[in-house]
Amino acid sequence: RAGVETGDDGWTVSTVDGKLSAQFEHTVAVTRTGVRVLTLRADETAA
């Protein structure tokens, strides 16, 4: 992707310009009736 580079370890990703960045993830449960986001914060809604 433009603006980022991956380190030699194949895991570390940094911004090209050296600015701060962050990654956010959620834990989800896949059930017979659909998907449930288990880690929503109080101010978030599932899409």
Residue 29 lies in a domain: yes
- For the chain, the maximum distance between any two Cα atoms, rounded to a whole number of angstroms, is 44
Number of domains in the chain: 1
SS (H, E, C) the chain: CCCEEECCCCCCEEECCCCCCCCCCCCEEEECCEEEECCCCCCCCCC
Residue 8 lies in a domain: yes
Banded model confidence at residue 46, pLDDT cuts 50, 70, 90: confident
Please tell me the predicted confidence (pLDDT) of residue 7. 95
Please tell me the predicted confidence (pLDDT) of residue 2. 85
Range of the domain at 9: 4-37
Please tell me the predicted confidence (pLDDT) of residue 44. 87
Residue 47 lies in a domain: no
pLDDT digits (tens, 9 = 90+) for 3-29: 999 999 999 999 999 999 998 899 999
C-alpha distances out from residue 8 to 5, 12, 14, 30, 36, Å: 10, 8, 11, 34, 35
Residue 46 lies in a domain: no
Count the residues in the chain.
Answer: 47
